[in-house]
Amino acid sequence: MSLTWTLESEAASSDLEVIAHGVFAHGRAQAHDGNAEAIACLVRDGERVVAGGTGRTEYERLFVTYLWVAEDLRGQGLARRILEVLESEATKRGCRDALIETLDDTVANLYRHLGYRAIAVVKGYVGRFSRHIMLKPILPPRAGYLER
């Protein structure tokens, strides 16, 4: 095998996709017992998506990947309602808690207000931004749940 090495600041998106797919496939192989299932709540104005949340449920946990509301609709409780929909479906799937992350201190305060608690905060994670990793129980824990 003849290997060629390159260092690129603007690699082709198809090449980056090969790497992302490889990492994802490797991770999925390790978590073969996880039964990951995608979840999404979309809010539309006609055909246009104006807010939504996406993620997955796996290992009795809701992992919220993205939560977004269009700027002109913020402050109306849409984020709270989206999380409620995701959490409700997650409980039907047997999830006991929900995990969400943000780099925005203001958003972290919103999540606290919605019942999430910080399980880790990495100050200065990138530049002036701190990474907030937050967890919220969505079902009462069963005996032995925290001892795993």
Residue type at position 40: A
What pLDDT, in 10s, does the model give residues 42-65? 999 999 999 999 999 999 999 999
Ramachandran assignment for 28, one of left (phi > 0), alpha (psi -120 to 50 degrees), beta (any other):
alpha
Rounded CA separation 77/5 (Å): 50
Average pLDDT over residues 89-95: 95
- Does residue 20 sit within a domain? no
Domain hosting 106: range is 32-143
The verdict on pTM exceeding 0.85 is: no
**pLDDT(128) > 80:** yes
CATH of the domain at 58: 3.40.630.30
- Does residue 60 sit within a domain? yes
Number of domains in the chain: 1
**pLDDT(142) > 70:** no
Provide the token pair at 44.
């539309």
- Does residue 132 sit within a domain? yes
**pLDDT(31) > 80:** no
- Does residue 5 sit within a domain? no
